Amino acid sequence: MDAATLSLGALAIAIVVSCTIRLHVGFLAISLAWVVGVYIADMSAAEVMSGFPTRLFLTLAGVTLLFSQAQANGTLDLIAHKAVLLCRGNVGVMPMMFFALSFVLASIGPGNIASVALMAPMGMAVAGQVGIPAFLMAIMIGNGANAGSLSPIAPTGVIVN
């Protein structure tokens, strides 16, 4: 078999194994890439490692650390509180405010998935307090994050560019 077919087989194995047992699919995929590349396709270790997206990995790790610190020290909660105050009690504007917050957060770094993970708890808490349907708030936060992820400095934008 050629290396391309074996790579697809290794990918299928990684997906099946990660779905059936609790194992980190990234570590498994890197290990399988190493086995296929070095031992089967006769590539050097440097050639195999050159396929790893180092810049993207460092961007994701750094941004994750930055925004986890912002969540832990209360900065994101403070920003959400100030955003609600900007709405001046107008409940109809709050979902649009959370759309804008998610958009800005996703476009400056963590991407759409992490932005939703950071904004959803705050948005759901605000929605419960002021009587906004939780589904509406979830849609606005998710769509804002997806729109922001199209920014050229977000991880998705880095991949596209």
Same domain, 36 and 67: no
What confidence score (pLDDT) does residue 161 get?
A: 67
pLDDT at residue 102 greater than cutoff 90: yes
Same domain, 84 and 155: yes
Same domain, 42 and 68: no
What confidence score (pLDDT) does residue 8 get?
A: 92
pLDDT band at 140 (very low <50, low <70, confident <90, very high): very high
pLDDT at residue 129 greater than cutoff 90: no
Question: How far is residue 66's CA from residue 121's CA, in Å, rounded to a whole number?
Answer: 18
pLDDT at residue 115 greater than cutoff 80: yes
Q: What is the mean pLDDT of the chain?
A: 87
| Mean per-residue pLDDT, 42-48 | 89
Same domain, 76 and 102: yes
Same domain, 37 and 79: no
Q: What percent of the chain has pLDDT over 70?
A: 99
- Looking at residue 83, its amino acid is A
Same domain, 59 and 36: no
Q: State which residues form the domain around 73.
A: 54-160
pTM: 0.60
Over its C-alpha atoms, the chain yields an Rg (Å, rounded) of 20
Same domain, 21 and 59: no
Same domain, 59 and 80: yes
pLDDT tens-digit readout, 19-40:
899 888 888 999 999 999 999 8
Distant-in-sequence, close-in-space partners of 132: CB < 8 Å, separation ≥ 6: 91, 94, 95, 126
What confidence score (pLDDT) does residue 32 get?
A: 92
Same domain, 59 and 37: no
Same domain, 61 and 140: yes
Same domain, 40 and 77: no
What confidence score (pLDDT) does residue 84 get?
A: 81
pLDDT at residue 131 greater than cutoff 80: yes
Same domain, 34 and 60: no
Question: How far is residue 124's CA from residue 94's CA, in Å, rounded to a whole number?
Answer: 11
pLDDT at residue 53 greater than cutoff 80: yes
Domains held by the chain: number? 2
